[in-house]
A and B are shown apart, each in its own frame.
Chain A
Amino acid sequence: MQCQECGKRPATLHFTKIVNGEKTEFRICETCAREKGEIIPGTTGGFSIHNLLSGFLDFNPGSHSHNPSAKIPENLRCEECGLTYSQFSKIGRFGCSSCYKYFNDRLDPLFKRVHGNTVHVGKVPKRAGNHIQVKRKLDELRQKLQERILQEEFEEAARLRDEIRELEKTLSAE
């Protein structure tokens, strides 16, 4: 099936747009979806980012059927807030922070599509995330250590090795 927007590329995304309770289905290609979703989000006649997300969530690679309930286990729900995965895929919002844990297995493809990435590398809260900062620092030092060894700068390598040992100690003490 061809994209309804450009008529050129094959349609890979299915959208449900609901305006005043009236449901309209769209079949469009990813390029057009991105354009639509990004350039006129939330405006009348446009796709909102949450419509776009639902499109991503319902996206079923290699299949022409558009029946989300067929592939989502009925019982998949967040035990903390009660949100089901199918509700999540309709509204495009999590109900609580535990949803991330309960839906975790299904989130990588979504995040990959939205962000191109699945793992956070930015700021870490100081109290909750001290060990993450230590882990990151360790990775960095280990890499430096490898470089020093390759360049045969052994004095500096020894210093780095000691620093790594110290950090490993603080990590295991936690």
Chain B
Amino acid sequence: MPNLRFTEQPLSKWMSSGGKDSDIVISSRVRIARNLLYAPFPMLATSEQSEDVLKRLEDVLDDERIQAFGKLYPILLEDLDDLDKKILVEKHLISPSLANESKSGAVFISEDESLSIMVNEEDHLRIQCLYPGFQVQEAWEKATSVDDIFEDHVDYAFDDNRGFLTSCPTNVGTGLRASVMMHLPALVLTGQINRILSAVSQVGLTVRGIYGEGSEAMGNLFQISNQITLGQSEDEIIENLYSVVLQIIDHEKAARETLLKESHLRMMDRVMRSYGILSHAAIMESKEAAQRLSDVRLGVDLGLIDSLSPQVLNELNVMTQPGFLQKIYSENMSPGERDMYRAMLIRDKMGK
């Protein structure tokens, strides 16, 4: 029987505490990619080879030091139905490509869901740590110590010159992708966002909007991550990301203060208007939901709304996505019905 505990609750336990600078940084994530020596990368591996990789990596779960990170639950992707896969993707516990394309794909998820270890994704092994707020350093430390334990049990594909060998040339070297998800409404409102994001991409970082059903960045959420994995040490990568994010936090804070000071009434109106619509609307499209939730989150952070907790908003960010809506209400819903159920869900959560 597949383990369904991870698809029942929208909010991972790790999200329940705010973490540092959580009014601007929603979460910090570190992922490291590793491959085993002598086995072709998952793209070319036969089913037998993939099963063998899985078995060798699964054996590591017996190590006491791994168990010290909390119980890890192994889940085979083939045991999950499509909806549960979708929900794991929406919670960032697995990647879309593990859900859809992998042979003998599996994931080991820790009790609090802060650690998830993907097997037979694009690479044999991907260790991912998620933390609330701005804790990229902490996430890296945990990921690298998990990596050390795996390394004690299996031989990694590693080259003196190129570092850790990965399926995609964009991951070679450290195999490290560190990212933070930031909520930057004031920089968007004051029109500074593009200038800042282009400055960020000049220093070896990339920015992605968080996409919904369309291709537009939604809800003023931006994911900042390192672009370079070869020729920089892990510490340099983490420090570079850290210092850039710190600067963006400062800019966002300054922009929020300016907005409060110079357009207090208009901010109040915008925030309360969105709050009102979310608490009363009967139809809510995903794009509007994301934008209104962003306004309300800003209102909460600025102290303009005190009747809502940031946790409710985190929860709604996850629950208003298609997979969760289907899980809660009905598996077979048309997009129109989805908008109705989304509105209903938000009303319920906000109308207390």
Contacts and interface: CB of A to CB of B under 8 A. Distances in A.
Interface of A: 34-35, 38-41, 43-46, 49-50, 53, 80-81, 83, 91-97, 100-101, 107, 110-111, 114-129, 132
A109 to B, nearest CB: 11
Contacts of B147: 123
A105 B147 CA distance: 30
B232 A121 contact: yes
B137 interface: no
B83 to A, nearest CB: 22
A38 B169 CA distance: 15
Contact of A117 (B37, B43, B230): B230
A94 B215 CA distance: 28
A41, A115, A117, A128 interface centre (most CB from chain B within 10 Å): A115
Interface in B148-196: 148, 151-152, 155-170, 172-174, 176
A120 B162 contact: yes
B230 A115 contact: yes
Contact of A122 (B41, B148, B163, B165): B163
21 contacts: A39-B197, A39-B207, A40-B208, A49-B170, A81-B44, A94-B166, A95-B44, A97-B159, A100-B162, A100-B172, A107-B162, A111-B172, A115-B231, A116-B228, A117-B230, A117-B232, A120-B164, A122-B237, A123-B174, A125-B156, A129-B160
A26 to B, nearest CB: 17
> In which size bucket is the chain B interface?
35 or more
Given A97-B37, A111-B172, A123-B147, 6 more contacts: A81-B40, A94-B165, A94-B167, A96-B44, A115-B173, A122-B163
B215 A46 contact: yes
Contact of A114 (B35, B170, B209): B170
Nearest to A128: B158
B122 interface: yes
Given A93-B122, A110-B169, A114-B169, A120 B163 contact: yes
A124 B160 CA distance: 8
B156, B176, B197, B231 interface centre (most CB from chain A within 10 Å): B231
Contacts of A43: 211, 215
A53 B169 contact: yes
Given A39-B207, A122-B234, A96 B41 contact: yes
List the 8 shortest-distance A-B pairs measured between CB atoms, nearest first.
A117-B231, A120-B163, A97-B157, A43-B215, A115-B230, A122-B174, A96-B40, A97-B165
A93 B228 contact: no
B205 to A, nearest CB: 9
B291 interface: no
A127 B37 contact: no
A100 B40 CA distance: 12
B234 A123 contact: yes
A41 B123 CA distance: 19
Contacts of B176: 122
B204 interface: yes
A158 to B, nearest CB: 30
Nearest to B176: A122
Contacts of A115: 172-173, 227-231
A117 B204 CA distance: 12
B233 interface: yes
B314 interface: no
Nearest to B215: A43
B156 A128 contact: yes
Contacts of B197: 39
Given A119-B230, A122-B176, A92 B165 contact: no
B40 A95 contact: yes
Nearest to A43: B215
Contacts of B169: 53, 92-94, 107, 110-111, 114
A41 to B, nearest CB: 7
Given A81-B40, A111-B169, A97 B35 contact: yes
B44 to A, nearest CB: 4
B158 A129 contact: yes
Contact of A41 (B157, B159, B208): B208
A63 B166 CA distance: 31
Nearest to A34: B201
